[in-house]
A and B are shown apart, each in its own frame.
Chain A
């Protein structure tokens, strides 16, 4: 008979250097905790399948958060419940990696319930180990979505009731109803027979991912002797006698035989194609033959404000794009919010010959006010020596400031004369361009239709821009 040795799998580190601990051989788990057993089964499978080098294990929030101290594989610690989302991103970027999402019931069935359903529904190529101990173990035994009816926890001291807390969630059954998952099984860590079953399920789930067949999910009923206030041996019995009655072990779905390997996840566009695909070629690339003036020292901080619908954001967006085409550094920061429809809207634009650190504009050098509330709100913020451009057709009380340039432009009235009130923003843009004098008129006329793509306003925008320039004469 050959000599065989069952010992610590090589996929575990030799020493577990937990923060500040002197005991470097032990896990941090309580005596009799199921995590250790499952860790061992996973580590053994990783070593046996020889996938240790390309495995990335995602530690959840919960007792198993320290899994990265034990598994000698790639490790990511994700936000509570988000392990499947992180695994999705990593796997799509690195299709040859083996992603293990290791999650507890508080993590997977409560805060991360949506993440796991969406990832399972997309059939992401990952293996999820769901450790179900019917309680929040790490935080001291609060009720989890999987806590049984009648089970006492620190937050259900009289026992969970369906009227108050609903029914315990059967995640395996829920996930098995989805079309994409390949393999869903519930196992339990109790006696030798069931641990052997768990071992088989762990290996099968990983094998499915190695074969690139898709999403595999193993729910493990696992003991929490501390949280349940039982001895480890009694916990084992409680799983068999009570927990397994509600969470019935067994294969919930298995299509591993019928599925073909999915080799390419999605045809990904090459990096060079992105600009074209998303149509974010810079204006400079699109507009050739129009010479732009030399870059001169400039530090404009512009606040554009008015009613939602006046084209406030579009004006800022167009201005920032045009200035960028003139080789200036720019930022455009729209202020979305409840003001968006009908109320007031504003955006901040920075244009500078030097790099811009923050897109925020607190003290503008230029204020473009298209309605009365906006003028009132921002007038006092404008820097001394700055410019206030306001719609003199809509604002009957002109700015009171005397330490800066105030120019009233009847933009809305003029836009109406041109044919559409909507062009008022372009009139303001023209006025700004004329005042500041660093933009090329020819360039703007060429660029506007590329920035504001609605063909209906193509000529109108150009006319309005020119009209705005004239109004500042």
Chain B
């Protein structure tokens, strides 16, 4: 099975500075059509082609706007009620549930 890399952008944490869009070597980032909660037009993953290089992560000035996963296969599977489907889960932050949905970045509480 092909290795899948993913960049996950938390739209509400993004200030739309565009550094990641400019820096992405494979041009898989662009800007969203709508504004986020802070009124910025956030960056968006076009959906395919991320190489997991991490350039966007290191150019991003926000601590948690961008997460890059190299090889999503190793992540846990789970069901996300927000997305209403089976998703891959990031390990949760300290005290923030058992995992975080990589599609919508909402924390999922352990049952």
Contact = CB atoms under 8 A, between A and B. Distances in A.
Interface of B is mostly: loop
B80 to A, nearest CB: 17
Contacts of B67: 5-8
A446 interface: no
A225 to B, nearest CB: 7
Interface string B58-72: 111111101111111
B94 A10 contact: yes
Nearest to A189: B59
A35 B61 contact: yes
**Listed residue (B40, B61, B69, B73) with the most chain A CB atoms within 10 angstroms of its CB:** B61
Interface string A427-461: 00000000000000000000000000000000000
Given A25-B12, A26-B15, A236-B22, A4 B59 contact: no
A446 to B, nearest CB: 67
A4 B66 CA distance: 14
B40 A31 contact: yes
Contact of A40 (B13, B38, B63): B63
Interface string A13-46: 0100000000101110111111111011101000
Contacts of A5: 67-70, 90-91
A256 B96 CA distance: 41
A192 B59 CA distance: 7
A43 B63 contact: yes
A31 B15 CA distance: 5
B56 to A, nearest CB: 9
A242 interface: no
**Listed residue (A6, A9, A191) with the most chain B CB atoms within 10 angstroms of its CB:** A6
A14 B93 contact: yes
Contacts of A225: 17
A202 to B, nearest CB: 11
Contacts of B66: 6
A14 B22 CA distance: 28
Given A4-B70, A225-B17, A233 B22 contact: yes
A435 B70 CA distance: 90
Contact of B13 (A25, A33, A196): A25
A32 B18 contact: yes
B54 A6 contact: yes
B3 A1 contact: yes
A36 to B, nearest CB: 3
B101 to A, nearest CB: 14
B25 interface: yes
B19 interface: yes
Contacts of A2: 70-71, 74
A25 B64 contact: yes
A10 B95 CA distance: 12
A231 interface: yes
Nearest to A225: B17
Contacts of A160: none
Interface string A357-380: 000000000000000000000000
Contacts of B13: 25-26
Please name the 3 residue pairs, one residue from A and one from B, whose CB atoms are nearest each other, closest first: A36-B61, A3-B74, A32-B17
